[in-house]
A and B are shown apart, each in its own frame.
Chain A
Amino acid sequence: MIVGEQKPFDEIWDMVKGHKQLTVFGCNTCVSVCHQGGNKEAEILASLLRMRASQEDVEIEISDGGIERQCEHPFFDKVQETLRKSEAILSLACGIGVQFTAQKYMSTPVYPALNTTFLGDVPAEGFFTEKCQACGDCILGITGGVCPVSRCCKRLFNGPCGGSSDGKCEISKDVDCAWQLVVDRLEALGKLDDYEKITPIKDWSKDRAGGPRSFKLEDF
């Protein structure tokens, strides 16, 4: 899922403090799982902003709300009126939701309350880790189900580099060496010999490098 982290409160305040009215708008799917951007977080953030406005003697009317997903039209139906009347929107969605909302309300400023950080999993409660960079050409089938694009800091296709030490990456003892994990997994699968197959040069045109990507279902 998409993981995001709320921006520093001062940065959020600086973006919105010039408005007279603001709707703090949650997105209750991906970024609510990490307790950063759901409708509940929108309510809390709105309260904090009201307190700040009061402390600084700034006149700004702040309401809050949210929908299940800010990246699809149908979910907006029930909030059309609220958003249309808003002077500004502070979106707690990922970057996708912020853009989708901004595109729907062309003359309304839409600000991001979150930094969209990565595509990740939840290996333990309250802990999120990056697992995918949506590179567009998955090679997990040959790397034992461990992604070197997102998990090796040099995204090596034929790792590990010389900086792998005790299972950790050269950049930090807190970061697992992805290629140690690949090797461990290949060994567990009885496929360690596959390590010696050279992974060919990647076609990055399927990645961000090829420009914005899209695909269309023919039946629709």
Chain B
Amino acid sequence: MKEIRTNSRLEKILKNGHIAVTSECGPPRSSDAAVVVEKGHLIKDHVDCINITDNQTSVTRLCSLASCIHLKNEGLEPALQMVVRDRNRIALQSDILGAASFGINSVLCLSGDHQSFGDNPSSQNVFDLDSMQLIQTVRHMRDEGKFLNGDEIKVPPKIFVGAAANPFADPFKIRVPRLAKKVAAGAEFIQTQCVYNLDKFEEWMKGVVDRGLHEKVYILAGITPMRSVGMAKYMARAVPGMDVPQEIIDRLSGVPKEKQAAEGITIAVEAIERLKECTGVSGFHIMAIEWEEKVPEIVERAGLYPRPAVD
């Protein structure tokens, strides 16, 4: 078995050869942490790790770090999502130390949606580092025990480092090289964009496997169940970098409105079943947007429950 470097349950699951299951919860637009804690409890027995989103779609929310601490205090295993949009390298390094000090064991390094999508389109953006450089930063802090300026960190943060990948964004020809770049930067696990176009995902994975990248990084395929045909159409039309094939829209359109949500769950379960057979896929990242209560059903129907125990 590969060397375990952190206390991350996700790392232990993956390095023990299990199919990993992660999910994510979005914090509320209020100071009431009970909302995100409740979401966490809904899914905690069915996933290995719960990502907490970081002001997703650039909408101001209860912060990811505080939400992670609330989950940790409840005995859950959170992963800190960090975007480089809102913080410079001083704040990012500081938050990494802060997260590690609370026993938050996993981080997902992201660029972040542009602020024009959110509730403060007139805000400045930071982008002192990019997501690639944030991956390097966390690995540098953990493995070298040093800050970016070279100063020693007496107790380095023991954090398992992840990144995102979107096989469906353009230009497609650099999507495998881009993953290679993230691996070279130090990414240890990858959670992908929502996968609906399975053929294209498998084409990307073939490129990943051909270069042996699947042996250097654990890839978790992103799964988001559609709640309705309206959601599918919206994602196809309005979400940048999202690839929703017409056949998904047609399939949801083909069932009565009250049965579309169930059909969406079935489509998600079928996707997992198919991608379990895809070489190089190490797990699934289930993003049930404001629909967390459906995660257990998806995990169970996909044959991924119970979750393996790791010490």
| B170→A154 contact, CB < 8 A | no
> Contacting B169 at CB < 8 Å: which of A163, A184, A195?
A163
| B127→A154 contact, CB < 8 A | yes
- Which residues from chain A contact B193 at a C-beta distance below 8 Å? 162
The answer for the CA separation of A160 and B173 in the assembled complex, in Å, is 12
| A164→B130 contact, CB < 8 A | no
A20 within 8 A of B: no
Interface size bracket, A side: 20 to 34
| B148→A170 contact, CB < 8 A | no
- Which residues from chain A contact B113 at a C-beta distance below 8 Å? 163, 170
| B170→A180 contact, CB < 8 A | yes
Q: Mark B123-153, 1 if CB is under 8 A from A, else 0.
A: 0010111111100110000000000100000
The answer for the CA separation of A204 and B184 in the assembled complex, in Å, is 24
A155 within 8 A of B: yes
Given A156-B111, A161-B111, A170-B241, verify A201-B89 contact (CB < 8 Å). Answer: yes
**A171 CB to nearest chain B CB (Å):** 5
B255 within 8 A of A: no
> Contacting A162 at CB < 8 Å: which of B137, B166, B180, B181?
B166
Q: Mark B156-183, 1 if CB is under 8 A from A, else 0.
A: 0000000011100111011001101100
The majority secondary structure among interface residues of chain A is loop
- Which residues from chain A contact B164 at a C-beta distance below 8 Å? 162
Given A162-B166, A162-B241, A183-B174, verify A156-B130 contact (CB < 8 Å). Answer: yes
B306 within 8 A of A: no
Q: Mark B114-126, 1 if CB is under 8 A from A, else 0.
A: 1011000000010
The answer for the CA separation of A170 and B170 in the assembled complex, in Å, is 11
- Which residues from chain A contact B227 at a C-beta distance below 8 Å? none
Given A154-B125, A198-B184, verify A160-B130 contact (CB < 8 Å). Answer: no
Binding site for A on B (CB under 8 A): 85, 89, 111-114, 116-117, 125, 127-133, 136-137, 148, 164-166, 169-171, 173-174, 177-178, 180-181, 184-185, 193, 240-241
Known: A154-B127, A164-B169, A196-B184. 14 other contacts (CB 8 A): A154-B85, A154-B130, A158-B130, A160-B178, A161-B111, A161-B131, A165-B170, A165-B240, A167-B171, A170-B117, A171-B116, A183-B171, A200-B133, A201-B136
List 6 A-B pairs, minimum CB-CB distance, nearest first: A162-B166, A170-B240, A158-B132, A163-B240, A156-B130, A162-B241
